[in-house]
Amino acid sequence: MRVLGIETSCDETGVALFDSERGLLADALHSQTDLHAVYGGVVPELASRDHVRRLLPLIEQVFSEAGLARGELDAIAYTAGPGLIGALMVGASTAHGLAKAWQIPVLGVHHMEGHLLAPMLEEDRPEFPFVALLVSGGHTQLVEVRDIGCYRLLGESVDDAAGEAFDKTARMLDLPYPGGPHVARLAEQGNPERFRFPRPMTDRPGLDFSFSGLKTHTLTTLRKLQETHPASDQDRADIALAFEEAVIDTLVIKCRRALEQTGLTRLVAAGGVSANRRLRERLDAALARRGARVWYPRGRFCTDNGAMIAYAGAQRLLAGECDPGSMRAVARWPLHELTSPSAANLS
């Protein structure tokens, strides 16, 4: 089955073509980072308008790169949620319009299921069951994954997601949007002996996260320094490192606990923050000591992309799922509401 995947949940327009027998045929991505950077965050209306401008040309591009004609496509998958409602509607309406014109099935896909399954696009991919760490600008969750659609939420952030905390810390340190890569880059120059920030909610049982207090601690530290002198580049680097270390240690501790609680030895880390080099090094080392292993998507599939939507959609379309007729676009959609597709024909 050849599936066109469309991702428009936030500030990236992603399109891909996936073949259930041959794998990924082509993918293209347009990031709106420059568009939103001047505002320090995503402006929903601007995001929606840019998706309108970019989506059809990107679809044309992947068909050309894959050497595929329109009549050779079997189905379309699009991100139905969660995400920005206006942005989601651009992808949903385009997918349904094309599917009707081409007379093929169309299916709305859960954005986080796409992230969760993104490592399946790699040659070396994990087997079920595993624990998934979904860590991005909008979500920080630990999920027990028994199979596609068989998900049990183990823990999640009760306030700011890790990626959101990175963005807010970046603004405190006068760094550009999006904050994660810039904080990580600045942290490379930091002194690890100067500050130690708290590891939130690690001194109590459970697998939930909270990064709001860590963000406040970062701001308090910065303001205390500024009472005596303007923050120097070294001050900012030291704070960036202390913040990053606190987030990473918290994620690693919770992942370790999740594996112990479930008795599993496989972990998938996905979402934008999973591209963080220091996080990957720390997770790999911590889990290797316990006889466990981590799988990651390749770098460009950590952030939002069409390939993960095409793959996730293909698995459900092969099992006979499709939209009943009307498009779906929902800002909030808990992952645990998903059900398992038929086991038949899954690839």
Q: Annotation-wise, does 110 bind a ligand?
A: no
Q: Annotation-wise, does 180 bind a ligand?
A: yes
Q: Annotation-wise, does 67 bind a ligand?
A: no
Is 206 found in the same domain as 172? Answer: yes
Is 198 found in the same domain as 134? Answer: yes
Domain ranges, residue 71 = 2-117+301-343
Q: Annotation-wise, does 135 bind a ligand?
A: yes
Q: Any idea what the CATH number is for the domain that residue 85 is in?
A: 3.30.420.40
**How many domains, the chain?**
2
Is 172 found in the same domain as 44? Answer: no
C-alpha separations of 241 from 180, 196, 249, 299, 328 in Å: 12, 9, 12, 22, 41
Residue 123 maps to a domain: no
Relative to beta strand 106-110, strand 75-81 is parallel
Is 281 found in the same domain as 136? Answer: yes
pLDDT of residue 136: 86
Is 337 found in the same domain as 247? Answer: no
pLDDT of residue 344: 39
Residue 108 maps to a domain: yes
C-alpha separations of 46 from 10, 87, 131 in Å: 10, 9, 36
Q: Annotation-wise, does 19 bind a ligand?
A: no
Q: Annotation-wise, does 272 bind a ligand?
A: no
Is 160 found in the same domain as 289? Answer: yes
What span, in angstroms and rounded, lies between the C-alpha atoms of 246 and 248?
6
pLDDT of residue 345: 43
Q: Annotation-wise, does 115 bind a ligand?
A: yes
Q: Annotation-wise, does 111 bind a ligand?
A: yes
pLDDT of residue 24: 98
Tokens of 274: 């999973």
Residue 221 maps to a domain: yes
- The answer to whether 258 and 131 have CB atoms below 8 angstroms apart is yes
**Enclosing H/E stretch for 251:** helix 233-262
Residue 122 maps to a domain: no
pLDDT in 10s for each residue of the chain, 347 residues: 999 999 999 999 999 999 999 999 999 999 999 999 999 899 999 999 999 999 999 999 999 999 999 899 999 999 999 999 999 999 999 999 999 999 999 999 999 999 999 999 999 999 999 999 999 878 999 999 999 999 999 999 999 999 999 999 999 999 998 899 999 999 999 999 999 999 999 999 999 999 999 999 999 999 999 999 999 999 999 999 999 999 999 999 999 999 999 999 999 999 999 999 999 999 999 999 999 999 999 999 999 999 999 999 999 999 999 998 899 999 999 998 999 986 434 44
C-alpha separations of 323 from 260, 270, 289 in Å: 38, 26, 45
Residue 281 maps to a domain: yes
Is 163 found in the same domain as 90? Answer: no
Is 219 found in the same domain as 136? Answer: yes
Q: Annotation-wise, does 268 bind a ligand?
A: no
Q: Output the pTM of the full model.
A: 0.94
- The answer to whether 47 and 41 have CB atoms below 8 angstroms apart is no
pLDDT of residue 342: 62
What span, in angstroms and rounded, lies between the C-alpha atoms of 79 and 138?
15
β-bridge mates for residue 79, sequence order: 109
Strand order in the sheet with 75-81: 23-31, 12-19, 2-7, 75-81, 106-110
Is 290 found in the same domain as 305? Answer: no
Is 143 found in the same domain as 271? Answer: yes
pLDDT of residue 138: 84
